[in-house]
A and B are shown apart, each in its own frame.
Chain A
């Protein structure tokens, strides 16, 4: 039982990071209807920005950690907007396939440029937040897990507020619903798409920082595996659906952690894809797709 709870806590913390990344996929899919393959590399860039910012900001204090995180989110938001402007916008009128191919190209570009700029070897990530471990009734809880869950939950709440309560969020939902009609109503779809990319990339950066904080080794290819898993999480939850992405992320995180802890641990990489294929076969819209019409 203790073992079970321990794994559950671990799964929750990994899963909430997947949820953060999955949100970026879902947001972009909501407005542009395409999979932003480069998203997982924005996640990696976020971690590296945190790494370099960590060298300058006073480390291991709550304020410093938050500063680092905000810096990474701003840089990545800018990066996401630039990527959309330079690589995706010129292709807006072409078929989805050519945008998809370009996105794969951008992803490879970031990975390989990252290997040239940051160096291919893993680097130790600094402790940006103070951390200690608690013991509660046999369970060992690291403050890292608590930080991860709290940060994710607050970012989710902020996102939900932006999307549901603000003017820009309303515009995002309008563009997602029908971009042409939205532009007739005086909404500038290009601006909204840029904002969406910015928000999604900022969430990826936050995910990257948290990931690097929990697993303190970063390298330019670190985004691929969590990025794919998070994408699967988005599809499982119903792509384009914000609560779905969060749910899918948690689900996948927990399942993966349990598989990793069992004796089938070498199959971990395959399990999420297997899950994806099953979902696509039996519920192609995802768990929460269709059920909730709210799409962004």
Chain B
């Protein structure tokens, strides 16, 4: 599908501009769901680079998201007003928001480097534990930084996020990651995933590949976090806990690890699922417990997928390049 990524990128960018322009005409609930979908696509596709294409296993994606969210929010809330005159022009605010998102991504990427460089020498399950621990440590750190609200978190973040930003970020993520994986350099990621020893023998520096994948994945997770913060307008350390990471992991696994289109579809599906369940409980109160037990559903989905369809829901090729 993504044989011509650049065309796709420009088309989606234009589409998101149109969406953003007509945002006010869209039903607010629908716009809300669309925003969540866009943010989840960004998160899932960026995690797919680490867990899918490169074949590592990160359980700390929400941690990078938290870093991006806090950095961007701090920039627009505290730093912005001190350097701008009172009531700055709209365009300046938007540019500043863009810079804040970017900064959030960069700080998250730096954190990715900090965590990845020592721990990516570890294999599979150890890496999973270290990234899990990283997520935990991030939450503890933010809980201890009083200027950023401590355990209560930040409130009153300006509502800059709209559909344009969300889908532009998603399009950019998909474009960069697809183009990268399909490049000569990016083949190294796939080689690392397929067979590390053989890749090393072919002269690929697998540790470097893993770190690059980790840093880029973290960058986009940071951007998604920034968007998320300026969308919910309030963030706290609890919102980026282990279960948030797991949600993203489930999206990647349901879509099929390394299958970008599948992961996007899974992100859409798994964002709509709870909304659908909520509608279901509106139909009959006796179905209420289903919508209450979303995490239960996720866990059953995870086990069922691993046992029955380890290649993901959306992989139909017989010899799909999946080695789960």
Contacts from A to B (Cβ < 8 Å): 34-35, 87, 90-91, 94-98, 100-102, 104-109, 111-113, 116, 224, 228, 231-232, 235, 266-267, 269-270, 273-274, 276-277, 280-281, 284
The 4 nearest A-B residue pairs measured at CB? A273-B133, A105-B302, A108-B299, A112-B296
Given contacts A105-B303, A112-B293, A112-B296, contact A100 B124 (CB under 8 A): yes
In the complex, 6 of the A-B residue pairs with CB atoms within 8 angstroms, ordered by the A residue number, are A35-B129, A101-B249, A106-B299, A108-B302, A277-B130, A280-B130
Query: In whole angstroms, what is the CA distance A270 to B134 when docked?
Result: 9
Contact B140 A109, beta carbon cutoff 8 Å: no
**Which one of B242, B289, B307 lies within 8 Å of A91 (CB-CB)?**
B307
Query: In whole angstroms, what is the CA distance A113 to B118 when docked?
Result: 37
**Which one of A109, A266, A281 lies within 8 Å of B144 (CB-CB)?**
A266
Min CB distance B253 to A, Å, is 6
Contact A116 B296, beta carbon cutoff 8 Å: yes
Contact A95 B253, beta carbon cutoff 8 Å: no
Contact B136 A269, beta carbon cutoff 8 Å: yes
Q: Which residue of B lies closest to A106 (CB)?
A: B303
Contact residues in A for B289 (Cβ distance below 8 Å): 116
Q: List 17 additional A-B contacts (Cβ < 8 Å) besides A101-B57, A276-B130, A276-B133.
A: A94-B324, A97-B324, A100-B124, A100-B128, A102-B307, A104-B246, A104-B249, A105-B303, A105-B306, A106-B299, A108-B246, A109-B299, A112-B293, A224-B242, A266-B140, A269-B140, A273-B134
Contact A34 B125, beta carbon cutoff 8 Å: yes
Min CB distance B11 to A, Å, is 34
Min CB distance A119 to B, Å, is 13
**Which one of A102, A112, A228, A269 lies within 8 Å of B295 (CB-CB)?**
A112
Contact A98 B310, beta carbon cutoff 8 Å: yes
Query: In whole angstroms, what is the CA distance A106 to B139 when docked?
Result: 24
Asked whether B141 is an interface residue with its Cβ less than 8 Å from the other chain, the reply is yes
Min CB distance A105 to B, Å, is 3
Query: In whole angstroms, what is the CA distance A94 to B298 when docked?
Result: 22
Q: Mark B53-74, 1 if CB is under 8 A from A, else 0.
A: 0010101000000000000000
Q: Which residue of A lies closest to B253 (CB)?
A: A101
Contact A108 B298, beta carbon cutoff 8 Å: yes
Asked whether B323 is an interface residue with its Cβ less than 8 Å from the other chain, the reply is yes
Q: Which residue of B lies closest to A35 (CB)?
A: B125
Contact B299 A97, beta carbon cutoff 8 Å: no
Residues of chain B from 259 to 302 with CB closer than 8 A to chain A in the complex: 289, 293, 295-296, 298-302
Contact B124 A96, beta carbon cutoff 8 Å: yes
| Residue from the set B124, B242, B293 with the largest chain A CB neighbour count within 10 Å | B124
Query: In whole angstroms, what is the CA distance A5 to B82 when docked?
Result: 52
**Which one of B129, B242, B307, B324 lies within 8 Å of A90 (CB-CB)?**
B307
Contact residues in B for A100 (Cβ distance below 8 Å): 57, 124-125, 128
Contact A270 B141, beta carbon cutoff 8 Å: yes
Q: Which residue of A lies closest to B150 (CB)?
A: A266
Contact residues in B for A87 (Cβ distance below 8 Å): 303, 307
Contact residues in B for A96 (Cβ distance below 8 Å): 124-125
Query: In whole angstroms, what is the CA distance A70 to B122 when docked?
Result: 38
Query: In whole angstroms, what is the CA distance A277 to B57 when docked?
Result: 16
| Residue from the set A94, A107, A266, A277 with the largest chain B CB neighbour count within 10 Å | A277
**Which one of A94, A101, A116 lies within 8 Å of B302 (CB-CB)?**
A101
Asked whether B143 is an interface residue with its Cβ less than 8 Å from the other chain, the reply is yes
Asked whether B137 is an interface residue with its Cβ less than 8 Å from the other chain, the reply is yes
Asked whether B155 is an interface residue with its Cβ less than 8 Å from the other chain, the reply is no
Contact B296 A113, beta carbon cutoff 8 Å: yes
Contact residues in A for B141 (Cβ distance below 8 Å): 270
Residues of chain B from 88 to 110 with CB closer than 8 A to chain A in the complex: none
Min CB distance A93 to B, Å, is 12
**Which one of A90, A97, A106, A276 lies within 8 Å of B124 (CB-CB)?**
A97
Asked whether B23 is an interface residue with its Cβ less than 8 Å from the other chain, the reply is no
Query: In whole angstroms, what is the CA distance A277 to B130 when docked?
Result: 7
Query: In whole angstroms, what is the CA distance A291 to B256 when docked?
Result: 41
Contact residues in A for B299 (Cβ distance below 8 Å): 105-109, 111-112
Contact residues in B for A111 (Cβ distance below 8 Å): 295, 299
Asked whether B126 is an interface residue with its Cβ less than 8 Å from the other chain, the reply is yes
Query: In whole angstroms, what is the CA distance A273 to B63 when docked?
Result: 14
Q: Which residue of B lies closest to A267 (CB)?
A: B140
Q: Which residue of B lies closest to A101 (CB)?
A: B306
| Residue from the set B55, B119, B133 with the largest chain A CB neighbour count within 10 Å | B133
Contact residues in B for A105 (Cβ distance below 8 Å): 299-303, 306
| Residue from the set B246, B306, B307, B324 with the largest chain A CB neighbour count within 10 Å | B306
